Amino acid sequence: DVKVTQSSRYLVKRTGEKVFLECVQDMDHENMFWYRQDPGLGLRLIYFSYDVKMKEKGDIPEGYSVSREKKERFSLILESASTNQTSMYLCASSLWGGPEAFFGQGTRLTVV
């Protein structure tokens, strides 16, 4: 089974902190994605990557950056966390040309 693992299920951080959300997939997928999920808004794409060291902005990249140094790992970085970044964050991966995306369990981030 494909497994996408997010390092934390729940995180509480303070305003202004630098926050790292980690995602690892074990199926050698080329594509990796970070989504943000908010009630009533569905999922919105933050950043994605089609290859190592490659990144592309999604629909809501402001306030975020990403890093992909290895094929299996994709990190989301909040340079200076703010309360409006309190949300559920979901990582996903897929094969290049593959039929579906596989999602992690999500990280619920609270910024206080």
Where on the chain is the footprint of another protein (CB under 8 A)?
A: 4, 31-33, 35, 40-45, 48, 50, 90, 92-94, 96-106
Residue 8: burial class (beta carbons within 10 Å; 0-12, 13-18, 19+): middle
CB of 73 to another protein, least distance (A): 16
Q: Which residue has the tokens 């039929």?
A: 99
Closer CB to another protein, 14 or 100, in the complex? 100
Longest CA–CA separation in the chain, Å: 40
Closer CB to another protein, 15 or 91, in the complex? 91
